[in-house]
Amino acid sequence: MPEPIISVAEMRAWETESWAAGVAQLEVIANVGRLVAERARLMTRPGELIAVLAGKGHNGDDCRAAIPYMEEREVRLLNTQSPEQALLQLTSILRDRPALVIDGLLGIGLDRDLSSDWTALIQLINDSGRPVLSVDVPSGLDADTGLMRGAAIVADVTLTLGAVKRGLVRESAAPFVGRLEVARDIGLTPSHFDPELFWSDGLSFVGEPPRRSAQAHKGDFGHVVIVAGSLGYHGAAVLAARGASRARPGLVTVVTMPETFPAVASQLQSAMVQPWADSFTLPAKMTAMVWGPGFAAPTLPQGLREFLRRQWQKGAAPWVVDASSLDWVPPGPLVTSAARVITPHPGEASRMLQCSVDEVEADRPAAVRKLSARYGDCWVILKGRMTCLGRSHGKIYLNASGNAGMAQGGAGDLLAGYIGGVMAQSPYAENPLRGLLWAVWQHGAAADALENERSNWTIEELADRLGSVIVHG
Q: CB-based burial of residue 357 (10 Å sphere; 0-12 exposed, 13-18 middle, 19+ buried)?
A: middle
* Ordered DSSP codes for 148-192: BSS-----SEEEEESSEEGGGGSGGGHHHH-EEEEE--SSPPPP-
Give the pTM.
0.95
Rounded Cα gap, residues 163 and 10, in angstroms: 10
* Ordered DSSP codes for 95-117: HT--SEEEEESS-TT--SPPPHH
The per-residue pLDDT for 167 is: 97
Q: 426: which residues sit within 8 A by CB, 6+ positions away?
A: 220, 222, 287
The one-letter amino acid code at 203 reads: L
The per-residue pLDDT for 389 is: 98
- Which class is domain 218-465? alpha beta
The per-residue pLDDT for 191 is: 84
Q: What is the pLDDT along the chain (473 residues), one digit of tens a residue?
A: 899 999 999 999 999 999 999 999 999 999 999 999 999 999 999 999 999 999 999 999 999 999 999 999 999 999 998 899 899 999 999 999 999 999 999 999 998 999 999 999 999 999 999 999 999 999 999 999 999 999 999 999 999 999 999 999 999 999 999 999 999 999 999 988 889 999 999 988 888 888 888 999 999 999 999 999 999 999 999 999 999 999 999 999 999 999 999 999 999 999 999 999 999 999 999 999 999 999 999 999 989 999 999 999 999 999 999 999 999 999 999 999 999 999 999 999 999 999 999 999 999 999 999 999 999 999 999 999 999 999 999 999 999 999 999 999 999 999 999 999 999 999 898 899 999 999 999 999 999 999 999 999 999 999 999 999 988 76
Cβ–Cβ under 8 Å, residues 180 and 387: no
* Ordered DSSP codes for 405-432: GG-STTHHHHHHHHHHHHHTSHHHHSSH
Cβ–Cβ under 8 Å, residues 159 and 136: yes
Residues in a beta bridge with 289: 225, 319
The per-residue pLDDT for 473 is: 64
The per-residue pLDDT for 81 is: 84
Cβ–Cβ under 8 Å, residues 213 and 414: no
Helix (H) or strand (E) holding 224: strand 223-227
The per-residue pLDDT for 431 is: 92
- Which class is domain 13-192? alpha beta
Q: 453: which residues sit within 8 A by CB, 6+ positions away?
A: none
The per-residue pLDDT for 211 is: 87
Rounded Cα gap, residues 452 and 455, in angstroms: 8
The per-residue pLDDT for 429 is: 85
- For the chain, domain boundaries: 13-192, 218-465
Rounded Cα gap, residues 19 and 93, in angstroms: 37
* Nearest CA among 64, 122, 137, 65 for reference residue 90: 122
